[in-house]
Amino acid sequence: MKPNEDISNDKRLQKILNIIYEVASGNYDIYEEIDDKGDELDAVIIGLNMLVYELSENQGIKKLNEQLTDAINDLKSTQAQLVQSQKMEALGTLAGGIAHDFNNILVSILGNAELGLMELSQDRQERAYFENILESGERAANLVRQIVTFSRMEATRLKSVNLASIIPEALKIARATIPTNIEIRQDVLEVCPNIMADATQIYQIMLNLCTNAYHAMEDTGGVLEVTLKEWIGPPPALEMKAENYLELSVKDNGCGISKEDQERIFDPFFTTKEVGKGTGLGLAVVFGIVEKHQGKITLDSTIDKGTTISIFFPTTANEVSKETNKESVIARKGEADSPVRLILIVDDEPMISRVYKRFLEKRGYVVTVCSDGYDALALFKKNPNQFDLVLTDQAMPNMTGKQLAKELLTIRPDLPVLLSTGYSDVITEEEAQELGIRKYLMKPVKLENLKQEIDECLRSSG
């Protein structure tokens, strides 16, 4: 085989290829042309060395080499992503398996602790035990929520929402958990375009970022600054497709993050905090949520100076009222103002219905419990006006909450139905609304919140 004519345009290259070709074909005379004498093998080696040198100087080859390096790097990062997504998938499966049962257990633990507190007068020492149970239980509930969001099991319900109202509300809640040696400043737009988002998840982002900022300044105190600004045109240096953006930043002047750690902070379970203080899921969750919102996240951090995390959300043209947003973040207040209300609870988990029943009865409601959708339907049919409200679980063996709600609402369209569900995407809030279900509650629901939701439904149905 003769050396390829195309790559031998360069005369020097041609000469070297010739040497190699001739030597390889057994013509060692060519050897005379090489200044540096040696045996046949040396001639080939010298030829090859010269070839390598020439090739490395050849622009076409250089480019090819760069492309090859890029391709190899791409491949490496795809491989890393694959490993990462496999990890997430495994975690997702695990979360899916335990989240449902775990939440039911938590409803029972939290509910019983709340009931215990209700029984004890203010001066009793034992209240501290129940308060501790509540606090730990809520941490556990939060952890399940993080894992589930992170593994993307939870149905994301993107709606047109306005950050100008969600952010200050979320900050109010964050303020309650952050000590006063940390000053919170906010520079948030009064009016801004909407984004397509899940308000609860935005709230979760805020809580995770603010908690991290607080931990970074815990020993020294400092300033936590939250800003919301608008970008007309995509933010520079970010490859983003949408036209306009909102930038949400959380800045602290705390301990900062080393360059080495900066590479890893978004990895699930990466934490520098002691056991019991951090699980390393906060930023992984934030990252997952931002991805689902088609956003981008940037990090700017200097050791001992502080950290800024910014999130960019594509905006929409729509407008919604501020009130709608507030409602989805914060539980509404309200008291039942009617004399006696009859409630039907349908749940296949007796430990849950028992807690709900006891709680609601203490609050003056009359409660009937069914553990199966068919029984509930049969009971309801006997006298469709006997209940003022139905609270049903979604995941039940014989008939789902959704099916039951459909049947009930066909018989009595004005019936307030509350659907409570664990983490599943079997039904979305929109779907629930379409079916005529008044409220959609994510387990575990705090009893006081449950009561507020029930009162709200009862009030609106008159």
User: Which amino acid is present at 211?
Assistant: T
Antiparallel, parallel or unpaired: β 306-314 and 365-370: unpaired
Q: How far is the CB of 216 from ligand ATP (least distance, A)?
A: 3
Residue (249 or 452) nearer to ligand ATP, CB: 249
Q: Residue 3 and residue 23: Cα distance in Å, rounded?
A: 13
DSSP-derived letter for residue 136 is H
| Six-digit token string for 57 | 């100087």
The alpha carbon dihedral of 236, 242, 248, 251 has a sign of negative
Quick one: what does residue 255 bind among ligand ATP, Mg ion, none, with the CB cut-off 5 to 8 Å set by partner type?
A: ligand ATP
Task: Please check whether residue 390 is in contact with residue 416, taking contact to mean a CB–CB distance below 8 angstroms.
Answer: yes
Distances (CA, A) of 352 to 54, 224, 253: 77, 40, 45
Residues 6+ apart with CB under 8 A from 368: 342, 343, 344, 345, 379, 387
- Selected from 162, 201, 212, 315, the binder of Mg ion by CB under 5 A is 212
Residue (210 or 408) nearer to ligand ATP, CB: 210
Residue nearest to ligand ATP (CB): 282
Q: How far is the CB of 294 from ligand ATP (least distance, A)?
A: 21
Q: How far is the CB of 453 from Mg ion (least distance, A)?
A: 29
Residue (85 or 302) nearer to ligand ATP, CB: 302
Quick one: what does residue 279 bind among Mg ion, ligand ATP, none, with the CB cut-off 5 to 8 Å set by partner type?
A: ligand ATP
Q: How far is the CB of 147 from Mg ion (least distance, A)?
A: 14
Residue (257 or 360) nearer to ligand ATP, CB: 257
Vertex 332 angle, CA 129 and 139, to 5°: 35
| Six-digit token string for 244 | 């306009």
Quick one: what does residue 3 bind among Mg ion, ligand ATP, none, with the CB cut-off 5 to 8 Å set by partner type?
A: none
Q: How far is the CB of 80 from ligand ATP (least distance, A)?
A: 18
Q: Which stretch binds Mg ion (CB under 5 A): 60-68, 148-156, 230-238, 276-284?
A: 276-284
Q: How far is the CB of 401 from ligand ATP (least distance, A)?
A: 31
Quick one: what does residue 252 bind among ligand ATP, Mg ion, none, with the CB cut-off 5 to 8 Å set by partner type?
A: ligand ATP
Of the candidates 119, 113, 112, 290, the one whose C-alpha atom is nearest the C-alpha of residue 206 is: 290
Q: Which stretch binds Mg ion (CB under 5 A): 4-12, 135-143, 181-189, 274-282?
A: 274-282
Q: Residue 85 and residue 306: Cα distance in Å, rounded?
A: 31
Quick one: what does residue 374 bind among ligand ATP, Mg ion, none, with the CB cut-off 5 to 8 Å set by partner type?
A: none
Residue (145 or 157) nearer to ligand ATP, CB: 145
Strand (E) or helix (H) holding 446: none
Task: Please check whether residue 454 is in contact with residue 391, taking contact to mean a CB–CB distance below 8 angstroms.
Answer: yes
Q: Which residues from 127-166 bind Mg ion, rule CB under 5 A?
A: none
Residue (124 or 185) nearer to ligand ATP, CB: 185
* Contact residues for ligand ATP, defined by CB under 6 A: 208, 212-213, 216, 252, 254-257, 261, 265, 270-273, 278-284, 307
Residue (216 or 329) nearer to ligand ATP, CB: 216
Q: What stretches of 167-267 adopt beta strand conformation (E)?
A: 182-188, 195-197, 222-232, 244-252
282 is a site residue for Mg ion (CB under 5 A): yes
SS3 260: helix
Task: Please check whether residue 224 is in contact with residue 182, taking contact to mean a CB–CB distance below 8 angstroms.
Answer: yes
Q: How far is the CB of 265 from ligand ATP (least distance, A)?
A: 4
Quick one: what does residue 222 bind among ligand ATP, Mg ion, none, with the CB cut-off 5 to 8 Å set by partner type?
A: none
Quick one: what does residue 281 bind among Mg ion, ligand ATP, none, with the CB cut-off 5 to 8 Å set by partner type?
A: ligand ATP
Residue (278 or 436) nearer to ligand ATP, CB: 278
Task: Please check whether residue 439 is in contact with residue 392, taking contact to mean a CB–CB distance below 8 angstroms.
Answer: no
SS3 6: helix
288 is a site residue for Mg ion (CB under 5 A): no
Q: How far is the CB of 305 from Mg ion (least distance, A)?
A: 19
310 is a site residue for Mg ion (CB under 5 A): no
Of the candidates 160, 105, 155, 109, the one whose C-alpha atom is nearest the C-alpha of residue 136 is: 109
Q: How many residues bind Mg ion (CB under 5 A)?
A: 2
Q: How far is the CB of 337 from Mg ion (least distance, A)?
A: 42
Q: Residue 184 and residue 194: Cα distance in Å, rounded?
A: 24
Q: How far is the CB of 297 from ligand ATP (least distance, A)?
A: 12
Residue (212 or 452) nearer to Mg ion, CB: 212
Strand (E) or helix (H) holding 162: none
Q: How far is the CB of 295 from ligand ATP (least distance, A)?
A: 17
Task: Please check whether residue 262 is in contact with residue 297, taking contact to mean a CB–CB distance below 8 angstroms.
Answer: no
Residue (149 or 420) nearer to ligand ATP, CB: 149
Strand (E) or helix (H) holding 365: strand 365-370
Concatenated DSSP letters of 70-124: HHHHHHHHHHHHHHHHHHHHHHHHHHHHHHHHHHHHHHHHHHHHHHHHHHS-TT-
What residues make contact with Mg ion under the rule CB under 5 A? 212, 282
